[in-house]
Amino acid sequence: MKELDYTLELADGTVVKVGLIEGTHHPEIKAFHFPPGTLVPFSQSNLPTARQSESLPIHEQMSEA
């Protein structure tokens, strides 16, 4: 089995780094089970899109606050 590290973003915006062995339950996360092959690390072909606040130049972010 191979060890994997992932970053999960929860619905409330909390970001959690998760280390696990593929095909096993993570002891800290009771609501999720990750069967083998279901988690795919980001690559150039499946990058997430930026949130609007992250995509604005810093001076525009400050003017919106």
Q: Look up the pTM and report it.
A: 0.26
Compute the distance between CA of residue 4 and CA of residue 24 in angstroms, rounded to an integer.
11
**pLDDT at residue 30 tops 60:** no
CA distance 3 to 24: 10
Report the chain's mean pLDDT, rounded to a whole number. Answer: 63
Tell me: pLDDT of 3 over 70.
no
Residues 28/41, Cβ–Cβ less than 8 Å:
no
Whether the pLDDT of residue 14 is over 70: the answer is yes
Residue spans per domain, the chain: 3-64
pLDDT digits (tens, 9 = 90+) for 35-56: 677 666 666 676 666 665 555 5
Please give the full DSSP string across 20-61, using - where no structure is assigned: EETTS--TT-SS----TT------TTSPPPPPHHHHS-HHHH
